[in-house]
């Protein structure tokens, strides 16, 4: 289903021969949309912009949807949609499924690599952001018919397991009895031990070899560490109300057998070369080598990500790869994508996108840390927000704060501001939803029935309907650009427009057809708010 704006745009494009680049009007007196296509065409043709605008306006057929088009200033075209067309669009949304989102015309198979914490370490704020953002992408893409395969690229392999296993043996611990916090404390003790004792460091190195060789005892302890860590991660996922499950686990270790295969493949085709004992690739235009295999014969993070791409585009058949990982890793992904392109693991038509994100800052504007100066765990953040609100509201506050400004930006974790039910916050949207639910509940108790929007006489009603008609294009734009803040801004505008409507137009206190039309407008708004909140991973509450 195409949105009104898309239909209008297509008809204008037919007569203009180019995308009119419709924009929402900057002022209400300019109507609902504007285009400056006549000015662009005039420049190209060396003609009078107003004359071109007049030609477009007289040849385009829009009288079924729009009021007569107006030409303004040097040649802008102002478009005002008819109330009847806005009502029709909102009624379709009410009658149809999926809040009028429809389905993408060319569905893709999408990998969303997100969350991806590390074994024997607690999830930190970076993993919090990744989990929230990745979950939103998964929801948005699935809602419009794409197939999403989440991949939780858990850090479950690497040299650190040598010291971890060795420390467990040294302390005579039962790894399966640890919880995640204890596993992390163990990590720190092992690290210290490594620094203090060359003898321990040597044993840890031997332990890495044993792990790689598949030594039974070593593998068993390694597995126990993974199990206790996953239990901790899952408890957090549950607390965060995200879609991730064990089915989405695809830890680094699943690529172990592929690493030498990738290295051999790259080397035999001359893509990778030996350089000071290491096997490396110099991606075109870069003089920093990507290390495939180090001089000790070890494969690292880069090689693992190449193997993962090969698997994702090959076996999993994905044609869009999305990585939700902190901005500091952008160079890593640039390199990995470049090598994967050269190697043909990423073919034309397959997109790979790194969605980096900024840091979470404390109220003092500095990197968020605890009073003791250590990095803040995700659970402690949830606790902190939970001090100010009920869990579903606290969660909404955190998720919305994470999603509502440009992802690249750092944001300040200010629990009190984030949980406020006024202003641009998650709880405000929940409140708007609950308020509409209350109106509809009251109507139901009073036995008032309603079906369609038949009257949009007031400007404030029209504004709500106009915003409703923009829901699907907003969601498609998020799917395309991976910018959730667009959906946040949209929902915030809708909630505000609704509030203005509700303050100015009696709903339950009006009568007859007017009342049922307004109730239908309430219901359509509620549907969109509920769906929109769902896409952000936020619970649409009915009572607050
Ligand atoms: N485990 C990594 C970290 O905590 C993130 C992994 C991201 N995904 C990937 N395919 N490299 O930094």
User: Cα separation of 360 and 129, whole Å?
Assistant: 8
Closest to 377 measured CA to CA, from 49, 117, 140, 12 = 117
Q: Provide the pLDDT for residue 124.
A: 85
Q: How many CA atoms lie within 13 A of 21 on its CB side?
A: 8
Q: Provide the pLDDT for residue 1.
A: 46
**Cβ(325) to ligand 1 under 6 A?**
yes
Ligand 1 centroid to residue 321 C-alpha, Å = 14
Q: Which of 66, 81, 96 is a domain's end point?
A: 81
Q: Which of 38, 62, 81 is a domain's end point?
A: 81
Q: Which of 23, 58, 81 is a domain's end point?
A: 81
Question: Which CATH number characterizes residue 34's domain?
Answer: 3.30.1360.70
DSSP codes, 482-525: --THHHHHHHHHHHHHHHHHHHHS-STTS-HHHHHHHHHHHHHH
Instruction: Please name every residue paired with 367 in a beta bridge, in sequence order, or none if there are none.
Output: 361
- Domain assignment present for 198: yes
Q: Are strands 109-113 and 76-79 parallel, antiparallel or unpaired?
A: unpaired
- Domain assignment present for 235: yes
Query: Are 527 and 438 in a shared domain?
Result: yes
- Domain assignment present for 432: yes
- Domain assignment present for 394: no
**Cβ(118) to ligand 1 under 6 A?**
yes
The two structure tokens encoding residue 394 = 């606290």
Measured from the Cβ of residue 388, the count of other Cβ atoms closer than 10 Å reads 16
**Cβ(153) to ligand 1 under 6 A?**
yes
| Residue numbers of the domain that contains 465 | 426-536
Closest to 145 measured CA to CA, from 538, 482, 404, 476 = 476
Q: Provide the pLDDT for residue 371.
A: 60
**Cβ(336) to ligand 1 under 6 A?**
no
- Domain assignment present for 225: yes
| Orientation of helix 391-403 relative to helix 378-386, angle to 10° | 120
Ligand 1 centroid to residue 216 C-alpha, Å = 27
Give the Å distances, CA to CA, from 501 to 203, 506, 513. 71, 9, 17
Of all protein residues, the one whose alpha carbon is nearest to atom 4 of ligand 1 is: 117
Closest to 464 measured CA to CA, from 497, 507, 439, 500 = 497
Q: Provide the pLDDT for residue 57.
A: 97
**Cβ(129) to ligand 1 under 6 A?**
no
Q: Are 266 and 292 a contacting pair, CB within 8 Å?
A: yes
Ligand 1 centroid to residue 336 C-alpha, Å = 13
Q: Residue-wise pLDDT tens for the chain (544 aa)?
A: 478 999 999 999 999 999 999 999 999 899 999 999 999 999 999 999 999 999 999 999 999 999 999 999 999 999 999 999 999 999 999 999 999 999 999 999 999 999 999 999 988 888 999 999 999 999 999 999 999 999 999 999 999 999 999 999 999 999 999 999 999 999 999 999 999 999 999 999 999 999 999 999 999 999 999 999 999 999 999 999 999 999 999 999 999 999 999 999 999 999 999 999 999 999 988 889 999 999 999 999 999 999 999 999 999 999 999 999 999 999 999 999 999 999 999 999 999 999 999 998 887 888 776 665 555 676 777 788 888 888 899 999 999 999 999 999 988 888 888 888 899 999 999 999 999 999 999 999 999 999 999 999 999 999 999 999 999 999 999 999 999 999 999 999 999 999 999 999 999 999 999 999 999 999 999 999 999 999 999 999 999 9
Enclosing H/E stretch for 45: helix 37-45
Question: Which CATH number characterizes residue 483's domain?
Answer: 1.10.730.10
- Domain assignment present for 523: yes
Of all protein residues, the one whose alpha carbon is nearest to atom 6 of ligand 1 is: 116
Q: Provide the pLDDT for residue 218.
A: 97
Closest to 17 measured CA to CA, from 45, 33, 5, 220 = 45
The two structure tokens encoding residue 517 = 């039309």
User: Cα separation of 521 and 186, whole Å?
Assistant: 58
User: Cα separation of 279 and 297, whole Å?
Assistant: 9
Q: Are 62 and 8 a contacting pair, CB within 8 Å?
A: yes
Q: Provide the pLDDT for residue 5.
A: 95
141: helix, strand or coil: helix
Enclosing H/E stretch for 309: helix 301-313
Domain count, the chain: 3
Q: Provide the pLDDT for residue 540.
A: 98
Pocket test for ligand 1, best of 153, 326, 336 (most atoms within 8 A of CB): 153
Which residues, at least 6 apart from 203, have a Cβ–Cβ distance to it below 8 Å? 166
**Cβ(470) to ligand 1 under 6 A?**
no
User: Cα separation of 164 and 158, whole Å?
Assistant: 11
**Cβ(152) to ligand 1 under 6 A?**
no
Ligand 1 centroid to residue 117 C-alpha, Å = 7
DSSP codes, 79-118: E-B-HHHHHHHHHHHHHSSGGG----SS--EEEEE----B
Closest to 482 measured CA to CA, from 197, 189, 146, 224 = 146
> Is the full-model pTM beyond 0.85?
yes
- Domain assignment present for 524: yes
Note the helical H segments in 320-458.
Answer: 330-343, 378-386, 391-403, 415-418, 426-445
**Cβ(135) to ligand 1 under 6 A?**
no
Closest to 496 measured CA to CA, from 536, 519, 463 = 463
Q: Provide the pLDDT for residue 23.
A: 95
Q: Provide the pLDDT for residue 231.
A: 96
Ligand 1 centroid to residue 309 C-alpha, Å = 13
From the alpha carbon of 155, which atom of ligand 1 is closest? 1
**Cβ(302) to ligand 1 under 6 A?**
no
Q: Are 167 and 186 a contacting pair, CB within 8 Å?
A: yes
- Domain assignment present for 127: no
Query: Are 436 and 532 in a shared domain?
Result: yes
């Amino acid at each position: 289903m195409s949105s009104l704006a898309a239909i209008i745009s297509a008809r204008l494009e037919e007569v203009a021969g180019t995308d009119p680049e419709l924009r929402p009007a900057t002022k209400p007196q300019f109507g609902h949309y504007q285009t400056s296509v006549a000015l662009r065409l005039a420049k190209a043709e060396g003609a009078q912009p107003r004359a071109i605008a007049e030609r477009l306006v007289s040849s385009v057929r829009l009288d079924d949807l729009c009021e007569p088009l107006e030409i303004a200033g040097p040649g802008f075209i102002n478009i005002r949609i008819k109330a009847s067309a806005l009502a029709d669009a909102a009624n379709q949304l009410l009658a149809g499924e999926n809040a009028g989102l429809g389905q993408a015309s060319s569905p893709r198979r999408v990998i969303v690599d997100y969350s991806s914490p590390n074994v024997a370490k607690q999830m930190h704020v970076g993993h919090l952001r990744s989990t929230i953002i990745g979950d939103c992408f998964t929801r948005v893409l699935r809602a419009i018919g794409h197939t999403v395969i989440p991949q939780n690229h858990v850090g479950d392999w690497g040299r650190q397991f040598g010291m971890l296993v060795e420390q467990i043996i040294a302390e005579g611990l039962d790894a399966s009895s640890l919880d995640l916090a204890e596993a992390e404390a163990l990590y720190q003790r092992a690290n210290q031990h490594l620094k203090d004792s060359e003898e321990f460091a040597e044993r840890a190195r031997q332990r890495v070899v044993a792990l790689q060789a598949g030594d039974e005892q070593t593998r068993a302890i390694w597995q126990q560490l993974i199990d206790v860590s996953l239990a901790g991660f899952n408890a957090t996922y549950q607390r965060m109300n995200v879609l991730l499950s064990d089915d989405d686990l695809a830890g680094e270790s699943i690529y172990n057998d592929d690493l030498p295969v990738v290295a051999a493949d790259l080397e035999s085709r001359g893509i990778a070369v030996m350089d000071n004992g290491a096997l490396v690739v110099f991606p075109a235009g870069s003089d920093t080598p990507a290390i495939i295999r180090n001089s000790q014969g070890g494969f690292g993070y880069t090689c693992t990500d190449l193997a993962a791409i090969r698997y994702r585009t090959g076996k999993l058949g994905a044609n869009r790869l999305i990585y939700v990982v902190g901005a500091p890793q952008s160079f890593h992904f640039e390199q990995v994508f470049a090598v994967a392109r050269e190697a043909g693991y990423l073919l034309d038509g397959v997109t790979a996108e790194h969605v980096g994100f900024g840091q979470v800052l404390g109220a003092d504007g500095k990197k968020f840390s605890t009073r003791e100066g250590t990095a803040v765990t995700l659970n402690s953040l949830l606790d902190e927000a939970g001090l100010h609100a009920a869990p579903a509201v606290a969660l909404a506050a955190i998720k919305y704060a994470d999603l509502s400004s440009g992802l690249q930006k750092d944001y300040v974790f200010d629990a009190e501001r984030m949980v406020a039910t006024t202003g641009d916050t998650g709880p405000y949207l929940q409140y708007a939803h609950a308020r509409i639910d209350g109106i509809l509940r009251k109507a139901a108790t009073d036995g008032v029935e309603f079906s369609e929007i038949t009257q949009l006489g007031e400007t404030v009603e029209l504004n709500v309907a106009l915003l409703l008609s923009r829901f699907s294009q907003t969601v498609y734009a998020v799917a395309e650009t991976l910018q959730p803040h667009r959906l946040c801004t949209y929902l915030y505008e809708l909630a505000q427009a609704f509030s203005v409507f509700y303050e100015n137009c009696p709903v339950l206190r009006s009568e007859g057809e007017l009342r049922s039309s307004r109730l239908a407008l309430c219901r359509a708004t509620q549907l969109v708010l509920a769906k929109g909140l769902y896409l952000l991973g936020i619970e649409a509450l009915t009572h607050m």
